Amino acid sequence: MRTTKNYEIEIKEKYDSDKKSSRLRGNLYKLTRSGIRQVCLNLVDEGLKDEDEIVIKNFFELKVDDDLRAKIKKYDIDGFRPICKFLKNETETIKQFDALELIALLIDFIPRPYSKYRNEALNPREEKNIEDQKTIADNVDIIYSMDPESGSIQITVPPKDKKLFAWFSNASAANKTLWLIGITAVLLVPIVMTIFFSNDESIWMVWDNDHYIETSFDADKVQNGTLKLYKEDRIENFRRIEPDSTYTFFNKNGSVRLWYGKNSQGDLEYFTDLGLHPETGKTLKPITQYMINKYIRKLIK
């Protein structure tokens, strides 16, 4: 598996290569702190993918309702100093991981972020290890995982593969041991979860028409993916609404007070806070004057 050090080295190599071949954005050649801020502003204006928006928010330490462009413009550009030094070879490494992720975004390094890089572009030996793990996973009855952002529990029921027995017979003693440990752990997960969570009445929530409500552990809701970890902020502040002409779309500082996304039928829905769409799981987008004029005011009329 690729390490963060590999990630750092390859990002720096791409910057040097793009600089020699004149493929960088204009403000990245001289590497001034104000130039880096301008590139960040340009990226926001061009539109960010969800994962890139997370990188921006992490680096600038933005809150949920902060306006990206306004906050970047007010940012103390001295914070870009480590990036400039690293890319100018004045330092051998960059200690702030959020800054490294920002560099990857600035130079359009692919694959990014690190979570993607770690699992892609593997060498043959790494690919073989991954394939061995997939062989094991594809023959386990149930695999449970949890989305750290939404708190929803994901369940996978992979197909069985008769070739597993041949693989197991020919595997080394070490691989057999790892296989047995892995399958035992996976099979124990649902049992442990049921025992641990079944009597807890306060840490789960479920979407109820237009808001989240507190609920108890329910195995059926785990299977259909609607059960989520309890978050007080979601319970109190996250609502689906139908805004009218009296709704205040923006705060006095220009930050938004409404987010939108499409449901599974493709219809636009509006929410009072940033987050994931309760039905589709996709990241909601901040409202814009364009969206207000084109869709909301059209509905009001």
pTM of the model: 0.43
pLDDT digit string (tens) for 218-275?
777 776 778 888 888 889 999 999 998 788 999 888 889 999 999 989 999 999 998 8
Least reliable range by pLDDT among 174-178, 235-239, 293-297 = 174-178
Whole-angstrom Cα distance, residue 144 to residue 151?
13
Q: What are the structure tokens assigned to 254, written together?
A: 């220009």
Please determine, for residue 148, whether its predicted confidence score (pLDDT) is greater than 70: no
In the chain the first and final C-alpha atoms are separated, in Å, by 56
pLDDT digit string (tens) for 62-119?
877 788 899 899 999 999 999 999 999 999 888 889 999 999 999 999 999 888 888 7
Q: What are the structure tokens assigned to 295, written together?
A: 């869709």
The letter for the amino acid at 192 is V
Burial state string for 144-157 with b = 16 or more CB within 10 A and e = fewer than 16: eeeeeebbbbeeee
Whole-angstrom Cα distance, residue 167 to residue 113?
34
**pLDDT at residue 298, rounded to an integer:** 60
Average pLDDT over residues 174-179: 62
Most confident of 2-11, 80-89, 187-196: 80-89
**pLDDT class of 171 with cuts at 50, 70, 90:** low
User: How far does Cα 131 stand from its chain's mean position?
Assistant: 25
Query: Treating both helix axes as pointing N-terminal to C-terminal, what angle do 50-60 and 97-106 enclose, rounded to 10 degrees?
Result: 130
- Contact yes or no for 260/251 (Cβ under 8 A): no
φ, ψ (nearest 5 deg) of residue 92:
-80, -20
Mean residue pLDDT of the chain comes to 78
Burial of 173 per CB tally in 10 Å (0-12, 13-18, 19+): exposed
Average pLDDT over residues 159-175: 54
Please tell me which residue, 276 or 203, carries the higher pLDDT value.
276
Whole-angstrom Cα distance, residue 255 to residue 67?
5
Least reliable range by pLDDT among 42-46, 141-145, 258-262, 265-269 = 141-145
